[in-house]
Chains A and B, each alone.
Chain A
Amino acid sequence: MSRLALTHADAPMTAARVGIGGPVGSGKTALVEQLIPALQARGIDIAVITNDLVTAEDAERVRRSGLIDPERVSAVEAGACPHTVIREDPTLNIEAADELERRFPGVELILLESGGDNLASTFSRDLTDFWMFVIDVAGGDDIPRKRGPGVIRADLLVINKVDLAPHVGVDLARMQREATEVRGGRPVLLTNCRRGEGVDAIVDLLEREVLFRT
């Protein structure tokens, strides 16, 4: 992950762009809501972009959360193409990120929540410097074994809703082991985004791998 580049072609000093993908309902917005205060607590200047599928509900939820200046939250419509807007044609998201940087010159990190999709969704490297894929234990512990491109290629795999493991008969340790295996040992972190558990480990990783703070 040291290949991360913090410079973009047309602007020398830009914020790090961090994508958050994963199936609908896996807890992406919940993770964003946890990451905002955790990043702010470490003095990191942030902004957020959401790619809602059919409404601006996620953007509104984050704007109204009271966690962040609502002006720092942008919504990008995906025209029913949640894959396209983060992969084949990420231009509208790139424009939204550039615009946030213009409006908030000190911004260091932009979180970009994908509209939610299947296991095949991946982020373009032209759009993000780092991206994570969020799955949840209630989706079944066979998800990592299905080797979806999202699970395999993300810089970080987050397995969320660990609190639900006992209720859905998931062996968490095995799920994490298999996920790490299919990912060739690249990072897999466990979270409970209802209660904020495991979020600090994600922020540690972002500080180290994306912001190059140690």
Chain B
Amino acid sequence: MFDRGEALALLQLGDSAFPAGGFAFSWGIEGLAADGLLSDRDDLDRVIADHLAQRWASMDRILLRRAWRAADSDAIAAVDRLAEATTPSAEMREGSRRAGRALLGVWVKLAGRLSVSYRARVSADPRLGHLAVVQAITGRDAGLSLDAAELVSGWTLITGLASAAVRLGLIGHIDSQQSLARARALLADLLADAPDDDAMPSSFTPFIDIAVSRGPLRAVRMFTT
């Protein structure tokens, strides 16, 4: 069961220090806090749970799995356009593309075969480069299994949210570890059930979507989303 090689790859690729710009995205944490909707660890745990269950599991994960199965660049691009079409918030779309393109850029420099060929497409089409899709491409370039790629995707979301909350002064470093442990258990639960191959991406996180969408209206803002 325990594959040391893959476990070590996960530690490297799922590390918050992996240089793909993740630290600049709060995915709504900053906005919710600014609007008084997030001020302590309980609030944070609820937001992380929402993110995971109502968005990541039904949306990002589905897109990732579709992109994983895609036979060629055309098929990957079709999943990418589906990500674009199923994300109503412009700021959410933009954030997802910026995060995705940053991750893709790293793997282009690491000479990932799929990443290099897909990057050419992304450069030519401003709608492409969504994070979940790029996570599939780069996961394949990294030689991960689908299970492992899903894990990295869910885990980097969780660490990104908790670390944004720490930097915003909403929780301390110990609270953050407790939130992470809780979220880890939820992620494991979600991953235990494999979705159908023909599942369509969907999400329902209205508060998070509104918080991210309101980003450009706030005068004081440290995060991209």
CA A78 to CA B23, docked complex, whole Å: 8
B123: Cβ under 8 A from any A Cβ: yes
- Contacting residue for A91 out of B105, B167, B168, CB 8 A: B105
Which of A9, A80, A94, A98 has the most C-beta atoms of chain B within 10 angstroms of its own C-beta? A80
Q: Which residue of A lies closest to B19 (CB)?
A: A89
User: What residues of chain B lie closer than 8 Å to A85, measured between beta carbons?
Assistant: 21, 23-24
CA A178 to CA B168, docked complex, whole Å: 39
CA A9 to CA B106, docked complex, whole Å: 11
Distance in Å: Cβ of B23 to nearest Cβ of chain A: 5
A16: Cβ under 8 A from any B Cβ: no
B155: Cβ under 8 A from any A Cβ: no
CB-based contact B23/A84 at 8 Å? yes
- Contacting residue for A77 out of B108, B116, B219, B223, CB 8 A: B223
CB-based contact B21/A89 at 8 Å? yes
Count of B interface residues, CB-CB < 8 Å: 28
A90: Cβ under 8 A from any B Cβ: yes
CB-based contact A80/B98 at 8 Å? no
B93: Cβ under 8 A from any A Cβ: no
Interface readout for A42-55 with B: 1 if CB under 8 Å, 0 if not?
A: 00000000000111
Main secondary structure of the interface of A (DSSP, over half): loop
CB-based contact B222/A53 at 8 Å? yes
CB-based contact B109/A77 at 8 Å? no
Which of B21, B98, B167, B220 has the most C-beta atoms of chain A within 10 angstroms of its own C-beta? B21
User: What residues of chain B lie closer than 8 Å to A56, measured between beta carbons?
Assistant: 221
CB-based contact A79/B23 at 8 Å? yes
- Contacting residue for A81 out of B105, B106, B123, B167, CB 8 A: B167
Interface readout for A137-180 with B: 1 if CB under 8 Å, 0 if not?
A: 00000000000000000000000000000000000000000000
CA A163 to CA B102, docked complex, whole Å: 42
Q: Which residue of B lies closest to A99 (CB)?
A: B101
Interface readout for A82-99 with B: 1 if CB under 8 Å, 0 if not?
A: 001100111110110010
CB-based contact B224/A77 at 8 Å? yes
Shortest 4 CB-CB contacts between residues of A and residues of B: A89-B19, A79-B24, A92-B21, A91-B102
6 pairs from A and B in contact (CB 8 Å cutoff): A10-B119, A54-B221, A54-B222, A55-B220, A79-B167, A92-B102
